[in-house]
Amino acid sequence: MADEKQLIRYSGRGSFAPDVIARAAGSSVFTEDGRELLDFTSGQMSAILGHSHPEIVATVREQVGTLDHLHSGMLSRPVLDLAAELVATLPAPLEKAVFLTTGAEANEAALRMAKLVTGGHEVVSFARSWHGMTLAAANATYSAGRVGYGPAAPGNYALPVPDRFRPSIVDADGDLDWRRQLDLGFEMVDAQSVGALAACIVEPILSSGGVIDLPPGYLAALRDKCHERGMLLVVDEAQTGLCRTGDWYAFERDGVVPDILTLSKTLGAGLPLAAVVTSAEIEERAHERGFLFFTTHVNDPLPAAVGLTVLDVLRRDRLDLRAQELGTRLREGLAALPHDVVADVRGRGLMVGLELGGADADQLGAAVTARCAGLGLHVNIVQLPGMGGTFRIAPPLTATEEEIDRGVSIIDEALTSVRG
């Protein structure tokens, strides 16, 4: 059992998990007492190549013995190569990159750039969004962390979430009318704006908000709303980027190219690496106006070398196709579970939401999560009131068919056991 008395609790949900993790390999983590947990969250939704991938281990060992950290004004070959390799995976005009450490940092830099380039300060994001816990990122986050910290920065507005499972605005057939919802959302934004709109930042699939996949066509319509108002569209692909959804980037499905793209979690495959990517035009305008954003570890060579290895493995092993195949297997397995409380299975690729229904869904979700852990599976539920029966399932892209089937089987057994 973990003795946590010297640790600050930071998640807002009480204590840590009871077991101390000793090591991890592939799709599993192992506790100090020898128990194996199949990891269906890829660590913090990050380890897309699994844990301790041998090529990442080799890269870290070699790079840390050669060049690990530099002054922020210096450049290294891993950083230059990673920038070239990364933009080669992206559509034009995304061709300028900077490398940071976390998703919050990347979103902070992106919003700072958007404000400087547009001259505005107002930011729009989804209700139930999660973009990080630093200043601008936290102000654009509505799913948690807003109570008790004093006033938020002025000029932050929330858009309603286009959730087809619990639609707020419906058409004649009772289905989500996302176009009317989006129009209404921007009517409210326009009514509150002081004429200084700078950016809209969104996840293509809201993860902490319930694994809500934006409807086809929504992102294109949102881009048009932004550009009509002189705003930049910032797409946060912390969890969806780099093959997890079956495409290299989730925005590709709708043929939309964001003005600014942020990457994090998956880029380092579990190590701290993030990126902001934008066009040469936007970068030039930001530079002309004195864009200032750097951290102690901006463009560090060690994580950049890891990012290069991640891109190499994704490309060589066609893990975009692997995510499509395994994702179909996972969703079909979950949809076939013989439990009437399984209300919805949704998502793309290996980013899947399983929602339990019923009046006690929150309590059921917590109980099933605990039972899964006892049976050898780590899963995570959405921490929002009324959505605690929604599981965020994101196994590594390197998982095997047997591991996918084993995870589904454990969920089945946990549901059977808990409902007794």
Q: Are the C-beta atoms of residues 276 and 106 closer than 8 Å to each other?
A: yes
State yes or no: is 248 an active-site residue.
Answer: no
Determine which one of 122, 203, 247, 283 is catalytic.
203
Q: What is the pLDDT of residues 364-378, one digit of tens each?
A: 999 999 999 999 999
Residue 294's φ and ψ, nearest 5 degrees, are -150, 155
Angstrom CA distances, 2 to 22, 115, 124, 372, stand at 12, 44, 41, 19
Instruction: State percent of the chain over pLDDT 70.
Output: 99
Task: Identify residue 179 by its one-letter amino acid code.
Answer: R
Could you tell me which residues come within 8 angstroms of residue 102 by beta carbon, excluding any fewer than 6 positions away?
132, 264, 272, 274
Over the stretch 101-120, which tens digit does the pLDDT of each residue have?
Answer: 999 999 999 999 999 999 99
Catalytic residue among 236, 254, 259, 283: 236
- Average of per-residue pLDDT values in the chain: 96
Catalytic site residue from 128, 225, 265, 322: 265
| Residue spans per domain, the chain | 21-52+319-419, 67-316
Whether 67-316 and 21-52+319-419 are alike in CATH topology: the answer is: no
- The phi and psi torsions of 199 (rounded to 5 degrees) equal -155, 155
Annotation says 329 is catalytic: no
Asked if 392 is an active-site residue, the reply is yes
Cα 364 to chain center, whole Å?
25
Cβ 389 vs Cβ 355: under 8 Å: yes
Predicted confidence at residue 109, as pLDDT, reads 98
Give the model confidence (pLDDT) of 46-64 as tens digits.
999 999 999 999 999 999 9
- Does residue 407 carry a pLDDT above 70? yes
Question: Which is the catalytic residue, given 95, 108, 392, 403?
Answer: 392
Confidence band (pLDDT; 50, 70, 90) for 406? very high
This model's pTM is above 0.85: yes
Q: With CA atoms as reference, report the closest residue to 208 among 388, 332, 361, 367.
A: 388
Residue 61 a catalytic site member: no
Give me the mean pLDDT over the 288-299 stretch: 97
Helix (H/G/I), strand (E/B), else coil: 305: helix
Instruction: Quote the pLDDT of residue 343.
Output: 96
Q: What percent of the chain has pLDDT over 90?
A: 92
Burial class, 34, CB count within 10 angstroms (exposed 0-12 / middle 13-18 / buried 19+): exposed
Sign of CA dihedral 133, 163, 122, 239: positive
Question: 96 an active-site residue?
Answer: no
Catalytic residue among 130, 213, 322, 355: 130
Q: How many CA atoms lie within 13 A of 187 on its CB side?
A: 6
Q: 67-316: what fold?
A: Aspartate Aminotransferase; domain 2 (3.40.640)
In 138-219, DSSP assigns E strands to 156-159, 197-202, 205-206, 212-213
Given the residues 237, 239, 324, 348, the one annotated as active site: 239
Q: Cα–Cα distance between 51 and 39 in angstroms, integer?
A: 9
Contact of 202 with 208, CB cutoff 8 Å: no
CATH of domain 21-52+319-419: 3.90.1150.10
Active site residue 363: no
Secondary structure of residue 111 in the 3-state scheme: helix
Nearest to 113 by CA among 281, 353, 306, 349: 281
